[in-house]
Amino acid sequence: MKDETVNAISKATGIPAWMISNQMEKMNKPKEQWYQSQEFQMVTTVVAVAAAPFTG
């Protein structure tokens, strides 16, 4: 994941960029079922809500 993307998500959601980076790193590890974690679902929900005004 590129820094610009992380920074954009950080700005849109108010989530610190380092937290987003950590989450992206977890997502890149296939051994972990990151998509089932509470944290990931929360981040996804926040990002979806934050992105809603821009996606239509």
Average pLDDT over residues 10-22: 86
Q: In the chain, pLDDT over 90 holds for what percent of residues?
A: 0
Q: What is the pLDDT of residue 27?
A: 67
Using one digit for the tens of pLDDT, what is the confidence trace for 27-47?
A: 666 655 656 677 777 888 888
How many angstroms separate the most distant Cα atoms in the chain?
A: 35
Model-level pTM?
0.40
Helix ranges restricted to H, 1-37: 3-13, 17-27
Cβ neighbourhood burial of 4 (10 Å; 0-12, 13-18, 19+): exposed
Average pLDDT over residues 6-32: 79
